[in-house]
Amino acid sequence: MIIAVDGPTASGKGTIARALAAHYGLPHLDTGLLYRAVGYQVLLAGGDPDSEADALAACAFPPTLLGDPELRSEATGGLASRVSVHHAVREALYERQRAFATQEGGAVLDGRDIGTVIVPEAEAKLFVTASVEARAKRRYLEMVNSGREADIDAIAADLSLRDERDRNRKEAPLRQADDALLLDNSDLSAQASIDRAIALVESRITPRR
């Protein structure tokens, strides 16, 4: 079974995708991490994330980079969003995601265009979202709890900017696939949102009587 989980930044799609993978015993790929690695590699190489040629060259990032904690930072998220608008970058990362999705036994992938572009044939598709306020608050608490300084208004502004860029780019914009089930978790705890996600996937894979 292939499960596609798409949604905006800090919507909780990663937590949900990991929980679904554990529940169904499937491998999981966080595709945002690939774009983050490309964005960070551009920075390391002294390139410009808005240059398609520099971003394409960075797609050959060393595999060890995927374990670098810097990939998880807000700054790297912004770089990822910028390099992800380039056609050549999306093309360079396509096969890797496709091969993961179509491996024997199935997989769970989360990102922005999994249900629309990477695996349109996925058996179950979820579109996970939450209000900007709810997402900013979560990101803020995450940062403060890990001992970092944070400004909730700056986080909200940054999330809105990234939403805007991800939704309005020409290629593979963030959007809910026609056959994706919507999970708005603005008012749900992480556990309630996971339970709901499992129920939604079940509704897709349990044969109707």
Q: What are the strands of the beta sheet with 181-184, ordered from one edge?
A: 28-30, 107-111, 2-6, 124-129, 181-184
CB 58 within 8 A of CB 48: no
User: Minimum distance between the CB of residue 63 and ligand DC, rounded to whole angstroms?
Assistant: 18
User: Minimum distance between the CB of residue 3 and ligand DC, rounded to whole angstroms?
Assistant: 14
Handedness of CA 192, 197, 200, 201 (dihedral sign): negative
The CA radius of gyration of the chain, in Å to the nearest whole number, is 17
Complex with ligand DC: residue 83 or 201, whichever CB lies closer: 83
Complex with ligand DC: residue 26 or 71, whichever CB lies closer: 71
Complex with ligand DC: residue 81 or 129, whichever CB lies closer: 81
Residue 27: both structure tokens together: 């491998």
Q: How many residues does the chain have?
A: 209
- Residues of the shown chain interacting with ligand DC in the complex, contacts defined by CB under 6 A: 9, 31-32, 35-36, 77, 80-81, 84, 111-113, 162, 166
Complex with ligand DC: residue 54 or 113, whichever CB lies closer: 113
Residue 126: both structure tokens together: 């979820």
User: Minimum distance between the CB of residue 200 and ligand DC, rounded to whole angstroms?
Assistant: 20
